[in-house]
């Protein structure tokens, strides 16, 4: 699949609780991406960094920016906290596009969603602290695919 050089995606840990510095780094990465010509921003819509990144996209308030929600399966928000469910629902309503990859949960569906996002992007903005899990998988896949990786974690250079 040909990569779209105006599209980027996000990946990050679910335990992400942003500090003011984290929010500033994310905002700067989004502004830099916009200046570099990125207009389509894909969020995997998981709690933590995914939802925070999607909210940050909406705060940019430029008419040429699109938010795409990549949903691994229809029941994704089952089990979210009430606050995360409210945020998820608001972001779905605000999204320019919603892509649902499956009607039902299946083993590996989150990785399939991550692959779908990476396959359509030429840059990834992550909040990656080096720990194992889906974020590690997605960052490694993005690096292997040659994407520009921007890590907004507090010490990004120590991870690559």
Whether residue 159 is contained in a domain is answered as: no
Query: pLDDT tens, 98-107?
Result: 999 999 999 9
Beta-carbon contacts of 65 under 8 Å, excluding residues fewer than 6 positions away, are 34, 39, 40, 41, 57
Whether residue 160 is contained in a domain is answered as: no
Residue 99's Cβ-count burial label (10 Å; 0-12, 13-18, 19+) is middle
Whether residue 107 is contained in a domain is answered as: yes
The answer to whether the pTM exceeds 0.85 is: yes
Query: pLDDT tens, 110-150?
Result: 999 999 999 999 999 999 988 899 999 999 999 999 999 99
**Counted domains in the chain:** 1
Whether residue 1 is contained in a domain is answered as: no
Helices 49-60 & 82-94, crossing angle to 10 degrees?
40
Whether residue 108 is contained in a domain is answered as: yes
In terms of residue numbers, what domain contains 130? Answer: 7-154
Average pLDDT estimate for 16-29:
92
Whether residue 2 is contained in a domain is answered as: no
CATH number of the domain where residue 106 is located: 3.40.50.450
Average pLDDT estimate for 50-77:
95
């Amino acid at each position: 699949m040909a990569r779209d050089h105006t599209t980027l995606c996000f990946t990050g840990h679910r335990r992400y609780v942003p500090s003011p510095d984290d929010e500033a780094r994310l905002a700067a990465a989004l502004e830099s991406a916009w200046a570099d010509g990125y207009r389509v921003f894909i969020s995997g819509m998981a709690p933590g960094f995914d939802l925070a990144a999607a909210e940050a996209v909406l705060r940019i308030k430029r008419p040429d920016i699109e938010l795409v929600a990549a949903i691994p399966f229809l029941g994704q928000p089952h089990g979210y906290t009430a606050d995360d469910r409210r945020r998820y629902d608001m972001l779905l309503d605000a999204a320019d596009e919603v892509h649902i990859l499956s009607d039902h949960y299946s083993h590996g569906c989150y990785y399939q969603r991550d692959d779908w996002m990476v396959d359509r992007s030429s840059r990834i903005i992550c909040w990656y602290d080096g720990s194992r899990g889906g974020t590690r998988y997605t960052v490694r896949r993005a690096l292997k695919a040659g994407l520009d990786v921007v890590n907004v974690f507090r010490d990004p250079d120590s991870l690559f």
